Structures are given as C-alpha cells and as structure tokens.
A and B are shown apart, each in its own frame.
Chain A
Amino acid sequence: MNAMSHNQAGNAYNFGFLDEYAKKEVRRAILKAIAIPGYQVPYASREMPMGRGFGTGGLQLTLSLIGPNEVVKVIDQGSDDSVNAVNLRRFIEMTCPGVSTTTATAECTLIQSRHRIPELPLTARQILVLQVPYPDPLVVVEPSEDKRKTMHGEADYSRLLVKLYEDIVKFGEITISHRYPTRINGHYVIDPSPIPRWDVPKLNDSAALILFGAGREKKIYAVPPHTKAEPLAFSDVPFRVEDFRDEQGRRRACARCGCVDSFLDEFVTDSGSKTYQCSDSDWCDMQLSKARQTQGEPA
C-alpha cells in the first residue's frame, strides 16, 4: 500500500496526511453527494494542521482524491500566488510525495479553489474542489438546522425567494453578489461557496465534476458533470451576471492583458484612479502570451 512505502521512506505522515480510514469516509461522502446532486452530506471533518475556515473542507476533499499521478492546482480568489494558495500547495507537496503541482488550468487534473471557478472551461478529466464557509443557503432565513433539513427535503425555498423579492422592492434588482442560491437538478438549492455571480452559470452542465467541502460545518456536496444548475430568480426578473461596462457603456478590459470577457478585479492605483485586471491570474497570463505570439514579439 502507498501508506507503507511512504512510511518506510521516512515520512512521518501517511500519503495525503489523512489516514486511509479518514480518506475512505470522505470518499464515501463524495459518492453519496454525487448520487444526490446538491444534497449536503454530513461527514466527520478531521482536525487539520490549520484553522477551520482556512479551507480545511476543500483540503480534505483534495487529499482524499489525490492519486500518485495527480497534477494539482490551488487557487485563492483566482490567483495562484496569494498566501493561502501558496501555503496549501506547499502542504500538498509536502504530504503527497510524487504529486506534481501547477498553475496552468489546462494541465491540472485536480483544482482546489476558493471564491473562483477558472475562466478556462474545465474538461471531463478534471475535478474542481471548492472551499465552502457556509454550506446551507437557508441559514439566512431559518436558524434551526432541523427545520432547514425538512425545508430542503420538501424543496421549500419560498423564503429564499422572498429575500429576492425584498431585494427587488428595495433596490430594483437582486443584490446578492456572491453565494448566489442555485437549484441543482431541479430540487436541492445549494450555496455555491462565495464564487461571484459571474461563475454561477459555469456550474450548469459543467463537463468537470464540482465538489464542495465545508470543514467547519462538516458538509460535502456536489454538482456532478452535465447537471442542471439554475440560479433562483423570478420568471420576469431573470438572473444576470456582473456588469463590467464603464460610464460610456463600453466593456472594461483587463489593464494587463486586454481581455474583455473575464471577471475583473478593481484596483486603486497610487494616483487614486481605478484600474481593472483579470481576477484569474492564469487566464491573464494565457491571454498575454497569446497576444505576444500573434504580434510576433519575443515573450
């Protein structure tokens, strides 16, 4: 077994940090989550060597799924280089010897992410793991977990819709910026982790398996490949993604790569003006190298 060989090699920890029983339990929960799309499967959520709320749920999924030939990518808010992403990647490298890591979306087989789904469409051979702080979308309208479970079972989401109604009454539109409640396969409504609205349509009919892990709340749920994912909305007030047009109505472009169809982050420059840049750093690099190739300039 893997565990034996790595222990003999002098590594104090099992391959993938978790013991094989813990991994088995997580894998069982994953299978159940895939079998019932959108249902929150409870699991034990082991103690990890980092604080709960720093991605322990996603990490446990990743460590349970990782195999010897895996190519792993870790992103935090779209970037491969933020502190959280770097530390998680190092932890995976340390505890899973032989596994390679990458920043290129196209090359990886397993992606652990916080707050973003990569811009590059995922493929059937990839799995996306999202870290989730609050798994239950009903928590904003019903404090009792017992009642929430009944509401999920009966697909009773009218109180979530009332929240959308109140938003339209007060502000003229639905103001949920992230964690947009999304109905999976026509029944369960999930909290798709704090991804922006921009990423919600990517859940629908995704080629890749998308898994959600909440470490503190001890829940795992899934959007299996090619499953229907519809954001909650009214028939006459449809769901819409973020609008990146400026005052003149032109679509803002990334200041670095010039891309006009990606999710943009806003930065304030030293002079106080605003500038926009792709949130997905790998996508930005790809666009940049593509532009250089077509212009024939040396990279």
Chain B
Amino acid sequence: MNKILEVRGLSKIYGPGCPQCLESTGPEADTNLCPHCGSVVAIHDVSFDLFEGEILGVMGESGSGKSTVVKTLYFDQAPSSGEAIFFDNDRQYDLFSLNAAQQRWLRNHRFGMVYQNPNLGLNFNISAGGNIAERLLMSDLMDYGAIRERAKALLARTEVLLSRVDDLPKHFSGGMQQRVQIAKALATQPPLLFLDEVTTGLDLSVQARILDLILEIQQELKTAMVVVTHDLGVIRLLTGRAIVMKYGRVIETGLTDQILEDPQHAYTQRLVASAL
C-alpha cells in the first residue's frame, strides 16, 4: 500500500512555553495546562501514518487536541514542532518547511477539509455553486461552463437538490450545509481529506446518510481520510485504524476493532465502557 501521510512528533503549544511544560502536562498530570508558565500544550509528540484509501480515526474527549492535529496538517495553524510528509504520486512534500504559497497550493489542490461548523468551511454570502466554484477557481480552472458543470455534478453526487445550486447556504438545513461542504472539499478530487466532527449536532437519519456518503466516496475515489470525532459509533463505522488522545498525547493506537473490543489504556477502557 502507498503511504499518503507520515506525521512524526507533531506538537503545538499555545503560550510562551517553559522547560517544565512537557513533564507537567499530559494524561499522567491530568491536565494540558502547564502550572509553571500557563501555556496550553494542545498536542505533543503525535505520530502516525496514513495509507492510500484508508480512514484513520482520531478520538478523544473535548480539549484532547484532536482538532488541533488536523488544523495543523491543513495549515490552519502552524505547529510548534514536528514534521509531516505528504506523498503525492511520485512527489514528497515536507509540509511544515514549505512557504506560504506552496502550502496554499497544496491546500487548494491536494487537500480537502470539512469542518464541524459549516461557517468555517463555507462562505454563507455566496451561493452553494459559488462556494464550489471558489475552490475550482483556486485550482486555476477558468472556464465558466466547465466550473458550472463540475459544481452541479458534485452537488448531485452529495445529494443536494440541483434546483438549489444558486441558493445561499445560509438558507440550507444543517445536513445540507454539511453536504455542500463535502462537495466543496471534493471539488479538486484531493487524495487526502480531513473531516473534523462532520456529523456532530446533526440528527441521526442525516448522520447516517452523511456517513454513507463518506464511505461511498472512500470506495469510489480511494481518498485517504483523517476523521476526528468523539462519537465511537462514527469511529466504528468509518475507520480501519484509530488513535486515542488525551490531554494532547496519543495514549493508544491500533486497529479500530481492537481498540473498541479490547482497550488497553485505562482511559480508553472508560471511554468505551461509557458509550451508550
């Protein structure tokens, strides 16, 4: 199998940081707030690999740093240290040593991101079609007819009614907004997709359809995905492998079935036991 992403020692500290930060935070210390300097160790020493067509789950409670992982990889935030290598066909990109323009190019052409809050991923003041057009225009497609065709095809694929292609997403339901976001993320057929709590806050039937859609996309396009969620049901349904995070550290990693059926770490055991 082809490796898509290799992450090693990824860390992100908010605040000045001090030499005692790392030893006085984490699951053992039961906090991610350094008592000496007040810095927040959002993530520390996160490492994982991702392969073509694979879905990796990142789970943990809120504040565990799981969203920070995808935000650094999608260049929304710069990490404090660590490296990530993205393998694209025969090329390799050392993500955090690229300049801003190269990062923007990768973001627009090769990555896709679906946020929990559609506000972050969509511009609510332009039409659903316009949102998808934006991403296509970013990747230098300059033909109006072709953009329009592609936007319609993507919205049809994600089951958004074509009669609403020119409506503003702020007039859409939450589930529809999420599907427009997925369509936008898929516009450039990226080999790597980040999904940050995509189904949180949606009702169950809508959740099920969006999860189905994600699985279909994975089957069809062989897109590798990193799925961030606190919902064990989503982890079980979508992912093949998973990592469990607490207070910014990875405490357990392995096959999803293994983690859910036979959790090793005390925290994971509690997490699995507490699931309804």
* Chain A interfacial positions (CB closer than 8 Å to B): 150, 153-154, 156, 158-159, 161-162, 165-166, 168-170, 234-237
Given contacts A162-B134, A168-B144, A235-B143, contact A154 B126 (CB under 8 A): no
Identify 23 residue pairs between A and B in the complex whose beta-carbon atoms are under 8 Å apart, listed by A's number.
A150-B100, A153-B101, A154-B104, A156-B138, A158-B137, A159-B134, A161-B133, A161-B137, A162-B123, A162-B133, A162-B137, A165-B129, A165-B130, A165-B133, A165-B137, A165-B144, A165-B147, A166-B130, A169-B129, A234-B143, A235-B142, A235-B143, A237-B144
| B127 interfacial by beta-carbon distance below 8 Å | yes
Contact B100 A236 (CB under 8 A): no
| Chain A residues positioned under 8 Å from B144 (CB to CB) | 165, 168, 234-237
| B233 interfacial by beta-carbon distance below 8 Å | no
| Chain A residues positioned under 8 Å from B166 (CB to CB) | 169-170
Number of A-B contacts defined by CB within 8 Å: 47
Partner of A169, one of B100, B104, B130, B143: B130
List B residues 132-188 near A (Cβ within 8 Å).
Answer: 133-134, 137-138, 142-147, 166
List 7 additional A-B contacts (Cβ < 8 Å) besides A156-B104, A165-B133. Answer: A165-B129, A165-B130, A165-B144, A166-B126, A166-B127, A234-B143, A236-B145
* Chain B interfacial positions (CB closer than 8 Å to A): 100-101, 104, 123, 126-127, 129-130, 133-134, 137-138, 142-147, 166
Contact A169 B127 (CB under 8 A): yes
Nearest-Cβ distance from residue A236 to partner chain B, whole angstroms: 5
Tell me if B's interface is mostly helix, strand, loop or mixed. Answer: helix
Partner of B143, one of A150, A158, A166, A236: A236
Nearest-Cβ distance from residue B243 to partner chain A, whole angstroms: 33
| Chain A residues positioned under 8 Å from B134 (CB to CB) | 158-159, 162
Cα of A161 to Cα of B126 in the assembled complex, Å: 12
Nearest-Cβ distance from residue B169 to partner chain A, whole angstroms: 13
| Chain B residues positioned under 8 Å from A158 (CB to CB) | 134, 137-138
Residue of B nearest to A169 (CB): B166
Residue of B nearest to A156 (CB): B104
| Chain A residues positioned under 8 Å from B142 (CB to CB) | 161, 234-235
| Chain A residues positioned under 8 Å from B104 (CB to CB) | 154, 156
| Chain A residues positioned under 8 Å from B137 (CB to CB) | 158, 161-162, 165
Contact A154 B147 (CB under 8 A): no
Nearest-Cβ distance from residue A243 to partner chain B, whole angstroms: 20
Cα of A170 to Cα of B123 in the assembled complex, Å: 17
Which of B130, B143, B145, B146 has its CB near the most chain A CB atoms (within 10 A)? Answer: B130
| Chain A residues positioned under 8 Å from B126 (CB to CB) | 162, 166
